[in-house]
Chains A and B, each alone.
Chain A
């Protein structure tokens, strides 16, 4: 009895492993393409990109291959190797499930200049508006994320306000009917940029001069 159990487990494992290794390169290719499309949508004109990971409190290191637990940020350059901006992925819990998004950070102006949702399973017709509602996405074209004097923290916390009530550059107009989802997006970006902005500012000279 145990012999046949072993045999069946062996057969199953072989099938799984074959399918996995057969599809792995295709899937990785798909993921790369999806990422590139997303980066291009928020930082148009991107020709080259370099991935950076956080080594310690003050250092970003360029990496060629990304190993699973690390989440890299991307420096995007145009045809003349001029730094266009940073593309940073961030994720967090939305209303229904995890939301994964990519936003563009302009280190010189200290502003967020674009945002695109990579993955979300929010309520269709309501929360899903965070994906394509033009008014909502416009919030992220000039979002002020200045650091304060010691360059360690954001000067102002990003705030999601009721639709139409936006008065300051660090506020985001929420979507009516999708409060939870829009607030979630705000929080996700807030956490992420607080984490990355200080260390990017420290390394900005070196990254701008990279090829």
Chain B
């Protein structure tokens, strides 16, 4: 990346379980801070329901794969560890794909191929490699939970802004008054790029205010 003035250190070792959980939510939020796993973020965040479903699906996969990778961490051979992680992640992604189909066909049709694309979400592979392969099962669980929820939170924020401005609705029901002319661009890919960019600017502003001497 050309100009990264603010590389936030990703805090790896913490003592308490609750800190593992919390760091995923804000300090090292996967989307806003680490800027990981953006592909699904932008594509399916044009409505709150889609964003929520996608976030929860990712959370499920992250949680399960962290737990499995952590339990098998002494068994997985080092040379082929990445391939093993990918196989494990793919297993849970396939599972969540079928589970979503069973829960709601409409949701599955709306999310489409992007559910399967969770498998290449750098976030999950990153956590498996950087954390779950080295930590205990319970800590990996909390890490997965925190990162997953942070991810879901970011997706839902994006989804809310995009659906509200792009369709005047939330969760499919009209919220804004009739006179509001929806900004259709928000529902298009460009809107996704813009929204995330503006949100990042916002967050950078907040970070700057925090680190500035008061």
Contact = CB atoms under 8 A, between A and B. Distances in A.
The finding on whether chains A and B are genuine partners in a shared complex, rather than unrelated, reads yes
Interface of A: 1, 4-5, 7-9, 12, 15-16, 19-20, 23-24, 26-27, 30-31, 34, 97, 119, 121, 123-126
18 contacts: A1-B80, A5-B77, A8-B72, A9-B87, A12-B88, A16-B95, A23-B98, A23-B101, A24-B98, A30-B101, A30-B102, A30-B105, A34-B105, A124-B188, A125-B166, A125-B167, A125-B184, A126-B184
Contact of B94 (A5, A19, A126): A19
Contact of B112 (A8, A26, A97): A97
Contacts, number: 70
A161 B88 CA distance: 51
Contacts of A12: 87-88, 90-91
Given A12-B90, A15-B91, A27-B101, 17 more contacts: A4-B76, A4-B77, A9-B87, A12-B91, A16-B94, A16-B95, A19-B98, A23-B98, A23-B99, A27-B102, A30-B105, A34-B105, A123-B184, A124-B46, A124-B166, A125-B166, A125-B167
B126 to A, nearest CB: 20
A19 B105 contact: no
A97 B114 CA distance: 13
Interface centre among A4, A12, A34, A97 (most CB of B within 10 A): A12
Given A123-B188, A124-B46, A124-B167, A1 B91 contact: no
Chain A, interface SS category: helix
A8 B182 contact: no
Contacts of A124: 46-47, 166-167, 184, 187-188
B9 to A, nearest CB: 32
Contacts of A34: 105
Contacts of A7: 75
Interface of B: 46-47, 72, 75-77, 79-80, 83-84, 87-88, 90-92, 94-95, 98-99, 101-102, 105, 109-110, 112, 166-167, 182, 184, 187-188
A23 B102 CA distance: 6
B110 A121 contact: yes
A7 B87 CA distance: 12
A1 B79 contact: yes
Given A8-B76, A97-B112, A124-B167, A19 B99 contact: yes
Contacts of B109: 119, 121
B87 A20 contact: no
Contacts of B110: 121
Contacts of A1: 77, 79-80
